Amino acid sequence: MVRTSSRSLAGVLGDPMLRSGHALIAGASLTQVIGVAYWVIAARIYPVAVVGRNSAALSIMLFLSGVAELNMMSTLVRFLPTSGTRTVRLILGVYATSMSIAAVIGAGFLYLIPHVEPQLSFVRTGPYVALWFVFSIVAGTIFVLEDSALTGVRAAPFVPLENTFSSVLKLVLMIVLVRGLPSLGIYVSSTVAVVIAVFPTNAYLFGRAVPRHLRKYSVTRAPPRFREIGSFLLPDSTAALFLLGSTALLPVLIIDRLGARAAGHYALAWIVGYALFLVSVSMGSSLVVETAADQSQLRQRCLRSITHLAKLLVPVVVVVVAAAPYLLLAFGRGYAQTDVTPLRLLTLAALPTLVTNTAISVTRSLRRMRMVVGIQVCLCSLVWGLSVALIGRLGITGVAAAWLTAQTVTALGLMIAPRLWLPAPRRALRHGAAAKQARRESVVEPAKAQAARESAASLAEAQGPGESRAEPAAAQARREDPAALAETLQFPAIESLVTPAEARAVRERAAKQAKAQAADEGVEPAEEQAPHEDPVALTQTLEFPRISF
């Protein structure tokens, strides 16, 4: 059993996708575990209404930060591995764009709060509080983007350290601020921790992670152009807005329909459900990084990701569902009495998200952006439609049921039609793709060509004394001529490089040349040899560019 565990651990550490994915999962898990402790203490020392209002304010901050990010987290994850010397420029450009947008929409939302959600007016109680609200949105964008930048330059193991530091810091600050800021302590502690964590993280990113990435991973292809990034970014940003709508905006619906106390109860159940949701998101980011430059193994990596995460998540889901009443006792008896069913529903939703989040990552790697948008639109529409329909009768349980139903229905649709998102296996390639692949595979590898040259040279040297001395020179010519080399290797696939129409054109041209040459020399034309029967003549007549053997 110990040997099996050692082999499994070695397999995880030996696979870059699983290694980076587990680093991101570890970071998210540590953050959520400390976050649970954070909200347990908050539920004990703050009134339920204060917890609800602060959690809604944090959700709004995350939503506005997400809008300002334009989902450029995925852009960084997708394009940093192939950006080469433009890596720093791409990161700084993303930072500057997001910070500018965050400042504008943060100030705009402050103005609209009385008209949109008056219960959040506490963030406008003074100029300093209002200024901090805008600044926290700007810092929140960088806090999220830097994790994606670290992932894109293959420095994901640093992410758990950053998230743990931020989570511990906000826990300490919340306890310190409970008396000085009785109504804002939760919000201020969370945002101050984010601002402080940004500085050392970016110092590591630009000072060590990026230079190490450029030294270790050479880029053989041209860096992505702005048009290429833009064609990816625009639909991906649209998809991100629907993702934010189905997650960060739900507390606003709850506080508007059910009040601050209900929002506080939902926030605690959502912590656990969202932590499990992030597991497949984290592995999906690693999947995109490892397949951005080479997608030949995308299908295999995708299936391995799903099966590997299923082994991790299924036992956790079973334990949380069974122990939900006892887990919620840590928050207080009031939470244990009302939040058991929402917690179980949100936990069960982690299983179908294995399929939905992996499908989004696969289509993002393939740059099938319409499919990315389609999945997120489907999820958001189902979540909001069902939430609005069920919240009046079932309360926060209806919102949790809407989340589970939306994820399950979407996952079933993706499983029924895998061709919409999952690359086909190699044996199932269409005829045209198979023909192209056969032609590509028909080109002689350089190592084989070198071996053929050495073999020809050996044969020439081994010739008997009675043979003509012109023969070694002919052998040398054949070694240096790719077409003749193909004949020496008895390599028939050269003919597959031309179409029948090209072959007919070759035959006609060869016949004309033979007749013209015979007329000039005053001899009868020799019997025509069809070039399509001689691959060497065919390549010479077509004057193909020299094939590198």
Closest residue by Cα to residue 216 from 81, 88, 89: 81
**Domain match, 418 and 529 both:** no
- Residue 414's pLDDT band, with cuts at 50, 70 and 90, is very high
pTM across the whole model:
0.63
Q: What is the pLDDT of residues 199-241, one digit of tens each?
A: 999 999 999 999 998 888 766 666 777 778 888 888 988 998 8
Q: How far apart are CA 89 and CA 214, in angstroms?
A: 13
In a domain, 520, yes or no: yes
| 3-state helix/strand/coil string of 419-435 | HHCCCCCHHHCCHHHHH
Instruction: Tell whether the model's pLDDT for residue 531 goes beyond 90.
Output: no
**Domain match, 199 and 232 both:** yes
pLDDT attached to residue 345: 97
**Domain match, 456 and 493 both:** yes
Number of compact structural domains in the chain = 2
pLDDT (mean) for 301-322:
93
Helix (H) or strand (E) holding 69: helix 48-69
Q: Which of 378, 407, 428 is the last residue of a domain?
A: 428
Q: How far apart are CA 138 and CA 64, in angstroms?
A: 9
Q: How far apart are CA 52 and CA 264, in angstroms?
A: 4
**Domain match, 439 and 421 both:** no
**Domain match, 379 and 479 both:** no
Query: Is the separation of the CB atoms in 324 and 343 below 8 Å?
Result: yes
Expressed as residue numbers, the domain containing 306 is 2-215+227-428
DSSP state of 490: T
Q: How far apart are CA 464 and CA 274, in angstroms?
A: 80
**Domain match, 499 and 523 both:** yes
In a domain, 182, yes or no: yes
In a domain, 548, yes or no: no
Q: How far apart are CA 177 and CA 126, in angstroms?
A: 18
Q: How far apart are CA 239 and CA 365, in angstroms?
A: 14
The phi and psi torsions of 330 (rounded to 5 degrees) equal: -65, -30
Q: What is the pLDDT of residues 235-272, one digit of tens each?
A: 988 998 899 899 988 988 998 899 888 988 898 889 88
Mean pLDDT of the residues in the chain: 79
In a domain, 410, yes or no: yes
Query: Is the separation of the CB atoms in 464 and 472 below 8 Å?
Result: no
Instruction: Tell whether the model's pLDDT for residue 39 goes beyond 90.
Output: no
Please give the sequence-ordered ranges of beta strands (E in DSSP) within 114-233, or none if there are none. none
In a domain, 260, yes or no: yes
In a domain, 222, yes or no: no
Q: Which tokens hold the place of 157?
A: 């193991």
**Domain match, 331 and 450 both:** no
Q: How far apart are CA 213 and CA 87, in angstroms?
A: 10
Q: How many CB atoms are closer than 10 A to CB 18?
A: 22
**Domain match, 199 and 237 both:** yes
pLDDT (mean) for 142-161:
89
pLDDT attached to residue 427: 59
Alpha helices for 210-295 (secondary structure H) = 210-216, 226-247, 250-257, 260-291
pLDDT (mean) for 305-328:
93
Q: How far apart are CA 181 and CA 188, in angstroms?
A: 8
- Residue 518's pLDDT band, with cuts at 50, 70 and 90, is low
Query: Is the separation of the CB atoms in 373 and 235 below 8 Å?
Result: yes
**Domain match, 382 and 446 both:** no
The phi and psi torsions of 462 (rounded to 5 degrees) equal: -85, 5
Distances (CA, A) of 183 to 51, 117, 124, 269: 9, 17, 13, 22
Query: Is the separation of the CB atoms in 252 and 59 below 8 Å?
Result: yes
pLDDT attached to residue 13: 59
**Domain match, 116 and 264 both:** yes
- Residue 466's pLDDT band, with cuts at 50, 70 and 90, is very low
**Domain match, 95 and 191 both:** yes
**Domain match, 289 and 418 both:** yes
- Residue 428's pLDDT band, with cuts at 50, 70 and 90, is very low
In a domain, 452, yes or no: yes
Q: Which of 428, 449, 480 is the last residue of a domain?
A: 428
Q: Which of 409, 428, 447 is the last residue of a domain?
A: 428
Cβ neighbors of 130 (< 8 A, separation 6 or more) are 110, 123, 124
Q: How far apart are CA 106 and CA 135, in angstroms?
A: 8
In a domain, 92, yes or no: yes
> Which single residue is written with the structure tokens 């994915």?
21
Closest residue by Cα to residue 437 from 446, 447, 448, 424: 424
Cβ neighbors of 199 (< 8 A, separation 6 or more) are none
